[in-house]
Amino acid sequence: MRIAFATVGCRLNQFETDALRGKAEAGGFTVVPFAEEADVYVVNTCTITGEADADSRQLVRRAVRRNPAAVVAVTGCYAQASPERVAAIPGVDLVLGNIEKAALFRHLAAARPVGSPRVQVADISGRRRVDADEYGPGIDPDRTRAFLKVQDGCSYTCSFCIVPTVRGPNRSLPAEQILAEVRRLSAAGFPEVVLTGIHLGTYGRDLHPRASLTTLCARIAELPEAPRVRLSSLDPHEVGPGLIRLLAASPRFCRHLHLPIQSGDEAVLKRMRRAHSAAEFRALLERLTVAVPGIAVTGDVIVGFPGEDEAAFGRTYDLLKALPIAGLHVFRFSPRAGTEAANYPGQVPRAVKAARSRALRALAAEKARVFRREFLGEVLEVVVLHRARPDGMLEGLSDNYLKIWFPGDAALMGRLLRVQIQDLAAEGLRGQCCGIVD
């Protein structure tokens, strides 16, 4: 049978889709692009904003139109939050919440014949663990990097975020199972593993005995054989001295952190109920750039949060302009039903949010160019991701999250290479391979 996947939302959603794609291939399915006709369509949805809901519904309807006879399964956070609304879309056969997602193929086996959509959405409030064999690793489509889910859920209460409602509380995979997976992925030849989770920085707080991301990383650093390791998003207040020392001391860990700052205005951060201040974020970046030379610090920022006036936005802009940021994801605030911020006074007009977003995106592009320019002439270790089109160059990713294009043979795909940087490119760098990292 032909099966196609589509994903909306975060990296963890993408990890889960990649892992399900691997299970499909192992189970005898033929995985095809979502734009092609398939016997089964799986849409892994997001509900972080109203726009994400709309994108998710659009993908579902597109699958139904492409093959009305196909089984259409909808899962993920939108399916968890609004299962009845998803089930009401004509052509949907199966609605699975976030817990049931891992058992997709068991549910698919019972999906037909269909009288009405089958809906399986469990209560997530009491689920306190993550299972190693729930998904296994998520392998990107080019099979060059592996994503390893070590944590799920979030126990924070940011005023704008629906994630705790649809993902449940923080729960972590025991360290021994993570170490076993890292060793297995290393033996399989993967040059990079990305540790991922809904709220990675809270890893281990639910375990007995209690653990932390820093202690987990220290144990990975001690493994005699392991790929290089990249950490996904961390809240700024979760990057403590121990983790900074480990990043500085261990070449196994990528020089890259993604830190959601969200705002550079202290009053806005308080209304968001974030656990860090703008001053603390500034101090953290100063420590990181001194302790870990060449580190790429990227981040998320929300413009147009309720009550953000021109002065508050200006403080965000000025802070980010002054700091050595390597890249930004800029989001316009979108009221999310079920969150406190959706009902806050001082909602910012759409046009104002769009203008502020354009200004920050332009700043982010310039900051990224400045960061890339620092590495001209240097040799970086690069994982080869895929062959770029249309020029046939190889595209790779450095440990500090720089895209690099260089000539080379397709046999180098998935290898870890040394590449000397020669020139700037539109969104990355160009270079020349000068060796394979053993």
Domain containing residue 178: CATH number: 3.30.750.210
pLDDT tens digits, one per residue of 30-82: 999 999 999 999 999 999 888 899 999 999 999 999 999 999 999 999 999 99
217 and 260, same structural domain?
Answer: no
147 and 115, same structural domain?
Answer: no
**Residue among 234, 303, 236 nearest 275 (CA):** 236
Domain limit, last residue, from 102, 120, 138? 120
Domain limit, last residue, from 88, 120, 152? 120
pLDDT over threshold 70, residue 143: no
> How is residue 130 written in tokens?
């993550």
**pLDDT grade, residue 126 (50/70/90)?**
low
289 and 248, same structural domain?
Answer: no
- For the segment 327-338, the average pLDDT, to the nearest whole number, is 92
- For the segment 304-315, the average pLDDT, to the nearest whole number, is 98
Q: In 289-373, which ranges are E strands?
A: 296-303, 327-332
179 and 211, same structural domain?
Answer: yes
Taking a C-beta distance cutoff of 8 angstroms, is the pair 36, 56 a contact? no
146 and 41, same structural domain?
Answer: no
Taking a C-beta distance cutoff of 8 angstroms, is the pair 256, 398 a contact? no
> How is residue 140 written in tokens?
């990107």
364 and 337, same structural domain?
Answer: yes
- For the segment 267-293, the average pLDDT, to the nearest whole number, is 97
pLDDT tens digits, one per residue of 364-387: 999 999 999 999 999 999 999 887
Domain limit, last residue, from 97, 120, 143? 120
Distance from chain centroid for Cα 23: 20
CB count within 10 Å of CB 134 equals 16
Read off the CATH number of the domain in which 408 is found. 2.40.50.140
300 and 331, same structural domain?
Answer: yes
Q: How confident is the model at residue 140, as a pLDDT?
A: 63
91 and 134, same structural domain?
Answer: no
- 3-state DSSP helix/strand/coil % of the chain, to nearest 5: 35, 25, 40
Q: How confident is the model at residue 378, as a pLDDT?
A: 97
Please give the residue range of the domain that contains residue 133: 124-254
**Strand-pair partners of 4:** 41
Q: How many structural domains is the chain composed of?
A: 4
pLDDT tens digits, one per residue of 315-325: 999 999 999 99
Q: Rounded CA gap, 113 and 105, in Å? A: 15
> How is residue 271 written in tokens?
């209304």
pLDDT tens digits, one per residue of 380-411: 999 998 877 667 899 999 999 999 999 998 88
Q: How confident is the model at residue 114, as a pLDDT?
A: 57
Q: Using the 8-state DSSP alphabet, how is residue 340 labeled?
A: G
How large a percentage of the chain has pLDDT more than 70?
Answer: 94
**pLDDT grade, residue 209 (50/70/90)?**
very high
343 and 263, same structural domain?
Answer: yes
Q: Rounded CA gap, 21 and 7, in Å? A: 11
Give the CA radius of gyration of the chain: 22
Q: pTM for the complete prediction? A: 0.89
152 and 96, same structural domain?
Answer: no
Q: Rounded CA gap, 307 and 303, in Å? A: 11
272 and 234, same structural domain?
Answer: no
User: What b-and-e string marks burial along 174-210, b requiring 16 or more CB atoms within 10 Å of the CB?
Assistant: bbeebbebbbebbeeebbbbbbbbbbbbbbbbbbeee
147 and 110, same structural domain?
Answer: no
